[in-house]
Amino acid sequence: MIEKKSLKSKKILLGINIDHVATLREARGGIFPSVFEAAMESIRAGADGITVHLREDRRHIQDDDVNELRKKISVPLNLEMSVSEPMVKIACCVKPEKACLVPERREELTTEGGLNVMKERKRIREVVKRLKNAGVLVSLFIDPIPKQIDAAHETETDFVELHTGSYANTCGSAKKRELGRLRAASRRLHEFGIGVNAGHGLDYKNVELVARLPYLQELNIGHSIISRAVFVGLFNAVKEMKKIIREAYS
């Protein structure tokens, strides 16, 4: 109990990923629904940040979306991006408050796993340095694997976003094991002085236990909130998620 109280001395931030508002827009090739309006409604409901993934294939979020959000929203913009040179140049030009480096494959439906920092350590370290020199806080999206965490530490990243997909997609004893891996990873990151975020596959039923992870600072959630918004509206969907997270660590 002493550890829990000391680790939960401040609130956990909630970043809303609005990619799939753009997915719906791009299905008809028009201008509705508005990504910017979705961001504003999320902020009105209490979102602490807005996350978008500018993919190389531009399947949902577009360059104009990123530029508009960077100029107009009142909370930090978190740009998910690959480590490709075109994306790095865009980020250094737009200068979002935060950038999260993620793996990206053209054929995937969504990001399927964490970065292989061990394999791409040199390139990732270079990108981290360039983004930080541009005034951008940098996060690496990685699986809760000790060797990957050690490699992330060597890149001098500001944050790591722990990939919670395996936790979200399992049940029973397997889910408990995945939660244990996330807990151990969070403690290891804290020892390195790296900020701890988490996200991927989190929804209204499974987020509570993740919100209780030690040293957790921010959760980034998108698909489940946008899906919930179809039935209750985006404002209420965000408020509901905020309430679950708040009650998890209070």
What are the catalytic residues? 53, 80, 200
Please indicate if the annotation marks 60 as binding a ligand.
yes
Which residue shows structure tokens 């209780």? 212
Please indicate if the annotation marks 190 as binding a ligand.
no
The Cα–Cα gap between 103 and 59 comes to: 16
Q: Rounded to whole angstroms, what are the CA distances from 204 to 11, 142, 228, 244? A: 18, 22, 9, 7
Which residues fall within 8 angstroms of residue 203, CB to CB, at 6 or more apart? 168, 221, 224
Please indicate if the annotation marks 20 as binding a ligand.
yes
Residue 159 β-bridge partners? 139, 195
Q: Are 82 and 61 in contact, with CB atoms under 8 Å apart?
A: no
Please indicate if the annotation marks 55 as binding a ligand.
yes
Please indicate if the annotation marks 158 as binding a ligand.
no
Structure tokens at 113: 């796993």
The Cα–Cα gap between 236 and 122 comes to: 43
Structure tokens at 4: 């829990």
Structure tokens at 197: 């975020």
Which residue shows structure tokens 């151990």? 184
Q: How many residues does the chain have?
A: 250
Region label for 15, one of left (φ > 0), alpha (ψ between -120 and 50) or beta (otherwise): beta
Please indicate if the annotation marks 201 as binding a ligand.
yes
Please indicate if the annotation marks 19 as binding a ligand.
yes
The Cα–Cα gap between 153 and 128 comes to: 11
The Cα–Cα gap between 12 and 242 comes to: 9
User: Which residues contribute to the annotated binding site?
Assistant: 17, 19-20, 28, 55, 60, 110, 201, 222-223
User: Which residues contribute to the annotated binding site for 3-amino-2-oxopropyl phosphate?
Assistant: 17, 28, 201, 222-223
User: Which residues contribute to the annotated binding site for 1-deoxy-D-xylulose 5-phosphate?
Assistant: 19-20, 55, 60, 110
